[in-house]
Structure 1
Amino acid sequence: MNVQVFPYLVMDGDAGEAINFYKEALDAEILYSQTFGESPEDPEHPLPAEAKARIMHATIKIGESEIMLSDTFPGQPHSMGSQVTLCITTSNAEISQKIFEGLKHEGEVTMPLQMTFFSPLYGSVIDKFGVSFQIYTGEEK
């Protein structure tokens, strides 16, 4: 079973600043960064101007470890101390489904497992212990 778990930091509009800070402070390498404004447009849900520069997703590498980051969408709740989630990634949709089903037992689904423009199967859940998980299905490498 090829599964990885990444710490995922959720910021409130300052993820870009955090990425640059970690780049300097921790000699981090920026592997990927995309703003909400760089994502495909959805005519049914126009992107507010204040969201365009926010980081939709980024990955940085610190030594041999990777950390993922993003900003909240404007208006989403955010509180200090709850901005760390765990992102479980796999290239197998069946494994993603099994992990999601297991974590949602007695938990709370915050985004149903579904196809998105960035993943064939993605969702998020808070488990019964209050730990936030993102389940991301990627492509076979």
Structure 2
Amino acid sequence: MLDGNTREAIQFYENALDAKVLSIITYGEMEAPCSEALKDHVAHAMLKIDNADLMFSDSPGIPVQLGNQVAICISTKDVEKTKQIFEALQQDGQVNAPLEETPFSPAFANVTDKFGITFQIVTENQN
């Protein structure tokens, strides 16, 4: 999670880590309403580095500070498995983004568990 400079970070990591940009979706391209100031910012970007996937986004208004820029991402191929993981992690935790369909996933959520660890749970699109 970055504070408006995700495109710059993507270019840096593309060169520094020999990453391949798989996708970039702006807030304006998503179906949810957003402010004019946010529409050109990155809502979701995915880079491939060898066998690892890195996801990036600009903050949609959540203050970015040391400690909350990085989240653990759990990726599944099954919406039901994603729901199961989300339900388990949200117990005594905080839901930052509810489980819902997005332009990049049939089921995506962001939750901070009871230990203060933030997780993004995403179901991969089956193209």
Normalised to the residue count of structure 2, the TM-score between the two structures is: 0.87
Match of 1:68 among 30, 36, 55: 55
Pair 1:80-2:71 in alignment: no
| Structure 1 segments unaligned to the other structure (5+ residues) | 1-9
Give the letter for the 1:61 counterpart. Answer: K
Equivalent residue number for residue 11 of structure 2: 20
Q: d(CA) in 1 for partners of 2:63 and 2:115?
A: 19
Q: d(CA) in 2 for partners of 1:108 and 1:11?
A: 20
Structure with more contact order per residue of length (Cα contacts < 8 Å, sep ≥ 6): 1
Equivalent residue number for residue 109 of structure 2: 123
Match of 2:41 among 40, 54, 63: 54
Equivalent residue number for residue 38 of structure 1: 29
Q: d(CA) in 2 for partners of 1:29 and 1:93?
A: 26
| Structure 2 segments unaligned to the other structure (5+ residues) | none
> RMSD of the TM alignment (CA)?
1.8
Change (3 A) 1:125 1:28: same
Offset of residue 91 of structure 1: 2.1
Equivalent residue number for residue 103 of structure 1: 89
Equivalent residue number for residue 121 of structure 2: 135
What does the per-residue CA deviation read over 1:22-44, in whole Å, with 9 as the maximum and x for residues that have no partner?
A: 1121221111112122333x5xx
Offset of residue 140 of structure 1: 3.8
Q: Percent identity?
A: 42
Give the letter for the 2:49 counterpart. Answer: I
Specify the structure having the higher radius of gyration (Cα).
Answer: 1
